Amino acid sequence: MYCPFCRNPDSRVVDSRMADDGSAIRRRRQCPECGRRFTTVETTSLSVIKRSGVGEPFSRSKVINGVRKACQGRPVSEDDLALLAQEVEEQIRASGAAEIDAHEVGLAILGPLQKLDKVAYLRFASVYQAFESLEDFETAIALLRHEAEDDPKGASGGAKSAGKSSEKSPL
């Protein structure tokens, strides 16, 4: 690590601490040449491989922007979106992979989004699970209703009529 003041190529670590959510390490360093101190932050790199084959660093803001579109008009706050993005990043990092396919990031969003808002989940799932017909929506809605019956505490968002059965599609 070059000293940002005198460009000396050596430095000594004076103090190390975990930053914020534990995903980074903050190190306080001192240059042996000029004696000045500076801080570095170390994080593990996580690359997302896009359809084109190009890799780019994982970005929580991209997760938030993608989910925000599915949540338009829904009672979902910016804090909810930030927590969802953090949960998705933690899930992806827990896999231990340094590179992940962009489609896998979309699929990783589905679980936390389903807990957050059922309607937004359906909107998002229709893209990432490639819904092609009304039957695909009906199947997804039936699954949500079944899960809501099994866990009544988790019944929120678009699953308010979970106990009612109907031959007509809610769409």
Which of residues 39 and 165 earns the better pLDDT score? Answer: 39
Name the one residue in this structure whose structure tokens are 């570095």: 40
Average pLDDT over residues 14-35: 88
Please give the pLDDT value at position 167: 36
* pLDDT surpasses 60 at 169: no
Mean pLDDT of the chain: 84
* pLDDT surpasses 70 at 152: no
Please give the pLDDT value at position 156: 46
What are the two backbone dihedrals, phi and then psi, of residue 125, each rounded to the nearest 5 degrees?
-65, -35
Please give the pLDDT value at position 147: 85
Task: Give the 3-state secondary structure percentages of the chain, helix then strand then coil, rounded to 5.
Answer: 45, 20, 35
Q: Tell whether pTM > 0.85.
A: no
pLDDT digits (tens, 9 = 90+) for 81-121: 999 999 999 899 888 888 999 989 988 999 999 999 999 99
Average pLDDT over residues 147-155: 68
Residue 80, Cβ neighbours under 10 Å: how many? 18
User: What whole-number distance in Å separates Cα of residue 131 and Cα of residue 88?
Assistant: 22
